[in-house]
Amino acid sequence: RLLGKGAGRLAGKRVLITSGPTHEPIDPVRYIANRSSGKQGTAIAAALLAEGAEVTLITGPTAEPAPPGVKLARVETAREMLAAVEAALPVDAAIFAAAVADWRAAEASVRKLKKDGSGAIPDLKLSENPDILRTICALPPGKRPALVVGFAAETNDVVENATAKRARKGCDWIVANDVSGDVMGGARNRVTLIDGKGVEDWPEAAKDEVARRLANRIADHLAAETAKC
């Protein structure tokens, strides 16, 4: 469904979405990353565009083409992603679908690390990356987007872990997915939406379909909030 400019339930709403993995350099040829393909985040950006929103897509390195019409920021590291998110504010809603690397090399080497022939293993020290979702949730009212949606990638005790994560991060909704199968990189997804009211299991579907359903939910929510004002 294609809508003209200005049409759609999210017309006039600004939304940002993070997507993909981050790459954290170890040296000029190596990095720390994860299996995120960026498919689900890109599909959500496209679905929000189709609802008429003004969409900023902030993505780590992926092979996914950006949906035409998004404002695109391509980043590599978690710290770059945080800066791009902050630069995209203010927004009405922010969706954090990226699989941000939790750790980076404490100091990336400017030279390629070499084997010295003795079998010695490099002593790679890690630092924790900033938590982008948590940082944005903690912004003061007015600066904090009215709706913040996190994702929770879990391999076990999915609902329990995601419920705790929602509270820890301070986001409004969390979309939990079980990544123990081939979800990362795959075309389908089965998610559970947890908001302040309860837990909703959504049926397994194509990532595009999950995206449309989420965009629809966001449109419902923002319309209800506007009606309250």
User: Per rule CB under 6 A, is residue 193 in the interface with ligand CTP?
Assistant: no
**Which one of Ca ion, ligand CTP, none interacts with residue 98, CB within 5 to 8 A by kind?**
ligand CTP
What Rg value do the Cα atoms of the chain yield, rounded?
18
Residue nearest to Ca ion (CB): 102
User: Per rule CB under 5 A, is residue 131 in the interface with Ca ion?
Assistant: no
| Residue 8 DSSP class | S
Report the site for ligand CTP in 44-83 (rule: CB under 6 A): 78
User: Per rule CB under 5 A, is residue 80 in the interface with Ca ion?
Assistant: no
User: Per rule CB under 5 A, is residue 27 in the interface with Ca ion?
Assistant: no
* Alpha carbon separation from 128 to 17, 51, 63, 90, 100 (Å, rounded): 22, 36, 26, 26, 11
The answer on whether 157 is annotated among ligand-binding residues is no
Report the site for ligand CTP in 89-128 (rule: CB under 6 A): 96, 98, 100, 102
> In which residue are the tokens 């990336």 written?
108
Report the site for ligand CTP in 141-180 (rule: CB under 6 A): 150-153, 165
Give the other-Cβ count within 10 Å of 202's Cβ: 17
Cβ proximity of 169 and 96 under 8 Å: no
Strands, E, within 155-194: which ranges?
Answer: 173-178, 188-189, 191-194
User: Per rule CB under 6 A, is residue 132 in the interface with ligand CTP?
Assistant: yes
Contacts of 15 (CB under 8 A, 6+ apart): 48, 53, 54, 55, 56, 91, 92, 93, 94, 95, 218
Min. distance of Cβ 145 from ligand CTP in angstroms? 13
Report the site for Ca ion in 86-105 (rule: CB under 5 A): 102
* Residues identified as active-site: 34
Residues that bind ligand CTP (CB under 6 A): 18, 78, 96, 98, 100, 102, 129, 131-133, 150-153, 165
